[in-house]
Amino acid sequence: MRSYRAKAPDSDDRDTSRCPAESLLEAWHRGQLDESTAAAVHGHLESCERCRRVCDELAGGDEIAILLREAERETDEESRKRVIRAATTTLRQRRADLGTMRQS
């Protein structure tokens, strides 16, 4: 999975009609694009705060999925509950962060 953390100008005032579809950003994040398409998406991310935020959200979803898979493997009920609580807390934090980003 890919992550994008480059420092670029923060501007949501740009024309978003040039932004790739979210499904393309997801494919980039998962490393499923051919080299030239991946390079084009990466280049776009250098200048688009909105799309970098989408990629950050995708990375958060991966973290939650990992925790839920861990819960499935736990045999002890208390351990399973602990991992599910951690996933729930992470999800709530991601939602709060997303709400804050959309307000700014």
pLDDT tens digit string along 42-84? Answer: 899 988 988 988 887 777 667 777 777 787 888 888 888 888 8
Domain count, the chain: 1
Q: Looking at the domain assignment, is residue 83 inside a domain?
A: yes
Confidence of residue 37 (pLDDT cuts 50, 70, 90): very high
Instruction: State the Cα–Cα distance between residues 5 and 81, nearest whole angstrom.
Output: 33
Are the C-beta atoms of 76 and 45 separated by less than 8 Å? no
Q: Is residue 9 part of a domain?
A: no
pTM: 0.50
Give the pLDDT score at 34: 92
The answer as to whether 88 is a domain residue is yes
> What token pair was written down for 37?
């398409």
| 56, 37 Cβ separation under 8 angstroms | no
Whether 93 maps to a domain, the answer reads: yes
pLDDT of residue 101: 60
